[in-house]
Chains A and B, each alone.
Chain A
Amino acid sequence: MSLTRQDVEKVSLLARLSLSDEELTVMTSQLGDIVGYVDQLAELETEGVEPMAHAVDVFNVFRDDVVRPSLPRDEALAGAPRDDGECFLVPAVLGD
């Protein structure tokens, strides 16, 4: 199963990455190779096999529903590229 340039463009939007023309070409080829390699997993019969997402079985690890101090606002904003002292500032979501 090889990837087309369009497939890779669509994935780049999902991944929130811009790719230059050249990167798109290289990425299409490299991802194609890698996907081709991982396609070998299809050889294996896995009917009835329980997927393993965790290496060790631990379930429902909760803490008590008690309020605890959390990161103070000024520390949370300390690394912000843009903020107004209260919130993180970002470019417009709606409109231009």
Chain B
Amino acid sequence: MDNAGIVNATATELLEWLGSGECTSVEVTQAYLDRIAEHDGQIGSFLSLRNDAALEQAAEIDKRRKNGEPLGSLAGVPVAVKDLLCTRGELTTCASKMLSGFRPPYDATVVEKLQAADAVLIGKTNLDEFAMGGSTENSALQVTRNPWDTARAPGGSSGGAAACVAASMAPLSVGTDTGGSIRQPAGLCGVTGMKPTYGRVSRFGLVAFASSLDQIGPLAHTAEDAARLLEVLAGHDPRDATSLERAVPSYSQQIGKPLEGLRIGIVPEQFDSGVAQDVTSAVREAVRVYESLGAKVSEIALPHSKYSVATYYVISSCEASSNLARYDGVHYGYRSESSDPTRDTTGDEGDNALVSMYRRTRAEGLGSEVKRRIMLGTYALSAGYYDAYYLKALKVRRLIRNDFDKAFEHVDVIAGPITAATAFRLGEKVDDPLAMYLVDLFTVSANLSGICGLSVPCGFDRDDLPIGLQLQAPPLEEERLLRAAHMFQMATDWHQRRPSP
């Protein structure tokens, strides 16, 4: 098995070959590390690599396999992890200057689960700072480029996680999704990415952005691979009080069962003039593929969806303003050493030394998008505005969830575009925060309502850029979603295309 064969394989294929002895975990890990060394300079998906540690881990797994010892379900398969998840003793930067040297004293639950499954963690991937963004351009540390066109953004905030899988630098990656941050970059990079139901995966050790919206999920080339990874990530965790006490189905065992009489709902507004023509054609064609497989398609209404971006930005910014208050230069991370009062125009007079330190630390350590959201959230929660903004948004959230509950009485999954357009150019939206927020148009409502959703490749546009099909299902219907995605991937081969090396 040569390196090209390895890095172009799916995780499922790798597991077969590892199981039959056609290759060793060390060979697989080395192949990916070589690919990263030769190619990531052009893409910038990784912030840090675990070269030696990964090879040691791989060697240990090979030894245990040789001795006939029991192995975890992902034994020997390399996995990349978004740098928003804590890895004990190893850099966890959240792509922020605030945490650029931070080494957490504990592993995230999902990291522990990956270790227990004998996955080989190869490195941490780039993201928008503290997960705030839709293009990974808000990373304070480096740029990540779309492997299909390096002048374009990979999407965000899990841009590194999506790009490294797309560019064959990892077969699997773990991302996070608060407003679309797994599904949107998956769509723009031509890979499969899923946001599970809120509470399906433990958030312990996930650096919090918006606690009622954040979820961790898999990115891979296929729904089958995503299913294998989700099985490992999912499950109740007493350390996360919002995690659900529900058994985890064997997603990968069930995935081959097609869904008879699948009822698909489409929302007419998601196919109107606001969406690029090539995207609409590809998604309509994907729906026709489902019809040819026996699915029944009907139109549904999600009447409050036009308010979803506004609702999302109020709620997520409010929660972020609270969650990011901990970055104060006291316990860990960056502390401002500057004592230059002429730099500041806000505050100073009347600020005691501690408040002054807080303000300067945060001003210097946090990027502009993060500051903008903290400011918006603080404003919306402040006296006099709480009812009009935060409370109002929570009520609209209920209306958005009610829309989905009603729709799912008549359909099994909702299908539509993941984004209104394909990958945009780096720099195109950085000066227009609102335009950037609108890239999340089709994804935020799943986070607001807590349901599950995924994106699968369904075509390419005239510039050869990937187009993603979004499927959404009711809470805890990940199995249905994965089977539906798998059905599509058995009937099409969009997911098999990779960018030219």
Contact = CB atoms under 8 A, between A and B. Distances in A.
Interface of A: 3, 7-9, 11-21, 23-24, 27, 30-31, 33-35, 37-38, 40-42, 44, 46, 49-56, 58, 61, 63, 71, 75-76, 78-82, 88, 90-96
A93 B363 CA distance: 19
Contacts of B331: 76, 79-80, 88
B247 interface: no
Q: Give the interface centre of A21, A23, A35, A55 by most chain B CB atoms within 10 Å.
A: A55
B394 A52 contact: yes
Interface in B318-371: 321, 325, 328-335, 343-347, 351-360, 362-363, 366, 368, 371
Main secondary structure of the interface of B (DSSP, over half): helix
A79 B328 contact: no
Contact of B433 (A7, A34, A58): A34
> Which 6 A-B pairs rank lowest in CB-CB distance, beginning with the nearest?
A55-B450, A79-B332, A51-B394, A91-B353, A81-B335, A55-B198
Contacts of B328: 16
B398 A49 contact: yes
B378 A81 contact: no
Contacts of B401: 52, 55
B494 interface: no
Interface stretch (B163-171, B268-276, B384-392, B463-471): B384-392
B242 A81 contact: no
B254 interface: no
27 contacts: A11-B378, A13-B351, A16-B325, A16-B328, A16-B359, A18-B344, A20-B345, A31-B372, A38-B389, A41-B392, A41-B393, A41-B396, A49-B395, A51-B391, A51-B397, A53-B212, A55-B447, A55-B450, A56-B198, A71-B106, A78-B103, A81-B333, A81-B334, A88-B330, A88-B331, A91-B354, A93-B352
A8 to B, nearest CB: 7
Interface in B292-323: 304, 307, 310-311, 313-314, 321
A35 B396 contact: no
A11 B392 contact: no
Contact of B398 (A20, A21, A51, A90): A51
A12 B362 CA distance: 11
Contact of A12 (B346, B391, B437): B346
B450 A56 contact: yes
A44 B330 contact: no
A21 B391 CA distance: 32
Given A55-B198, A88-B330, A79 B398 contact: no
A42 B388 contact: yes
A20 B433 CA distance: 19
A50 B398 contact: yes
Interface string B197-238: 111000000000000110000000000000000000000001
Q: Give the interface centre of A15, A23, A90 by most chain B CB atoms within 10 Å.
A: A15
A14 B378 contact: yes
Contacts of B395: 44, 46, 49-52
Given A17-B371, A55-B448, A76-B105, 14 more contacts: A15-B321, A15-B375, A16-B328, A17-B362, A18-B344, A18-B347, A31-B375, A37-B313, A38-B393, A40-B307, A44-B399, A54-B198, A54-B450, A79-B331
Contacts of B362: 15-18
Contact of B374 (A7, A17, A41): A17
A18 B346 contact: yes
Given A12-B347, A44-B304, A88-B331, A17 B311 contact: no
Contact of B238 (A20, A49, A63): A63
Contact of A27 (B313, B372, B389): B372
Nearest to B392: A41
Contacts of A90: 330, 354, 357
B346 A35 contact: no
A63 B238 CA distance: 8
Contacts of A23: 368, 371
Nearest to A15: B378
Nearest to B99: A79
B397 A52 contact: yes
A13 B313 contact: no
A31 B376 contact: yes
B94 to A, nearest CB: 14
Contacts of A16: 325, 328, 355, 358-359, 362
B394 A53 contact: yes
B345 A55 contact: no
Interface string B91-115: 0000000000011011000000000
A24 to B, nearest CB: 6
A55 B449 contact: yes
